[in-house]
Amino acid sequence: MSDPNTTRSLDRLAALEADAHAAATRSRAGAPAGSPGLQLFTSIVLPGLASIRRHPLLGILLFSLGVALPIVAVAWVVSRRDDLVGIALDPTFLTASAAIGVGIVLARLFAVAEVAHAFRRRRGNWARTVVATLIVFAMAAPVLLMVARANEARSAVASVFGSGGPSIFVPTAAGAGTGDEVVNVLLLGGDEGPGRWGMRTDTMILVSMHEPTGRTALVSIPRNLRLLRFPPGTPMGERFPNGFDAYDGLTNAVFTYVTGDEMLLGYYGRDGRQGQAVALAEGIGYSLDIEIDDYSLVNMQGFTEIIDAVGGVTLDLSAQVPLPPSLPGERPLPDAIGPGPVAMDGAMAIAYVRSRTADSDYGRMGRQRQLLAALGAQVSPSEAAAGFGQVTGALDDAMRTSMSGGEFSDLLDRLGDNSSIGESIGLTPPLIDPGRPDYDQIKVIMAAVEQYVRTGQPSGYA
């Protein structure tokens, strides 16, 4: 017969052993499995993957934010690589790019922190965590630089581009207006310096595009076109019922005139558009009896930086063209260029279209149309993307437009497709006498141009 005291002692010992075994089992069950070094490395490359067994929802979130979402974004951009310019000029895309960049960095930092916490009792884990964190920060540097660039570009794009919106001018006559199939954009350019918007618009080109076919016509409006008309009942129409007669009555002075009048700026600058450009577009639309959907305003001096950012442009000149002196701050230029192919940087390209001694104002207008068409044709999406940072930096000083980024990208595509530009017309002698314009005749010409854009039937004036 056993001793009761001994039996009780053995029972207590067995209970203690059972408790110790249970505690050991619980400890082993709660301890993280695997190598902390390997899991930290995995968290850098594929954040969330090492955490998914311990915290499934957190692991899935980190993997989605740091890996899946960036891959989806890149795949989406690649699928639309033919419209890289339009994508890059979309403020929503730029904002999303910045957000994704921040998410890429934060996902890795949180993933490293989760692994570090799980293995916090392992010897040497602190040193491994510090190394992993430093690696994440090193990887984050180019990503955060991209985020900063995207944010700068978003600000520039927001100040340069509009939101589309309603047409600037629509003829009120029965059956008038180009409708949705034809888009008319007024391109305006002046020789003032970057950021100066009180200029005279020596370049005025109407781009008329047929949306279904891409068929395009360019119509140059001479700077010395006189007595531009404005719709009755508008401020400019009331001030100039017989046509614009301030500043010698020249159309290129309308912009300057509106700049100096706060009331006109307020009236025409509604909807966030450039008041001077809207007033001028309204006058041109009314005088030519054609719908004006949008405008694009360029300071030609600032435009040199854009041309340089996309690698320049090459023009094939049929004759020698004398050049004016270079603009302030630009490199010295030769006295003349051509004939034959000439590779031009921004300074030379702008001097080429500014030259007045080469021929005449009307020849100058033709060179402006030639530069626009060549620039659109020669700049590939990859070149535009490569120079994106420089382009967006220059845009803020060089351009204002009522078009959205996507609409402007479509315009560049049309100008770049030489086969789609079927007619290029100047409202110049002998077709029109700008000093004594017959606006009824001009309306007939524009109706024929619109008919060409719609149907492909030649206008007879090109």
* Model pLDDT for residues 408-436, shown as the tens digit of each residue: 777 777 766 666 778 888 898 889 999 99
At CA 88, angle to CA 83 and CA 93, rounded to 5? 105
Q: How many CB atoms lie within 10 A of CB 65?
A: 21
What pLDDT, on a 0 to 100 scale, did the predictor assign at position 333?
86
pLDDT at 195: 47
For the record, the structure tokens of 409 come out as 């990208």
Answer whether 167's CB lies under 8 Å from 176's CB.
no
| CA-based nearest residue to 311, from 385, 381, 382, 383 | 383
pLDDT digits (tens, 9 = 90+) for 337-378: 888 898 888 888 888 887 766 666 556 666 776 776 676 666
SS3 category, 209: strand
Handedness of CA 123, 129, 132, 138 (dihedral sign): negative
Predicted confidence at residue 436, as pLDDT, reads: 94
CB atoms within 10 A of CB 114: 21
Per-residue pLDDT tens digits for 66-99: 999 999 988 888 887 666 666 766 777 778 888 8
How far apart (Å, rounded) are the C-alpha atoms in residues 105 and 126? 20
Confidence (pTM): 0.68
CA distance 314 to 353: 13
**Tell me, what's the pLDDT at 279?**
95
Low-confidence ranges of the chain (pLDDT < 70): 1-33, 81-86, 88-89, 152-159, 164, 173-180, 191-198, 300-302, 327-329, 356-366, 369, 372-373, 375-397, 415-419
**Order of strands across the sheet that contains 421-426:** 399-401, 294-299, 182-190, 203-210, 216-220, 421-426
pLDDT at 27: 43
Locate the DSSP E strands across 191-284: 203-210, 216-220
**Distance (Å, whole) CA 105 – CA 101:** 7
Residue 341, SS3? Answer: strand
Contacts of 177 by beta carbon, 8 Å cutoff, 6+ apart: 170, 171, 291
3-state secondary structure of 363: helix
Look up residue 59 and give its amino acid. G
- pLDDT given at position 384: 56
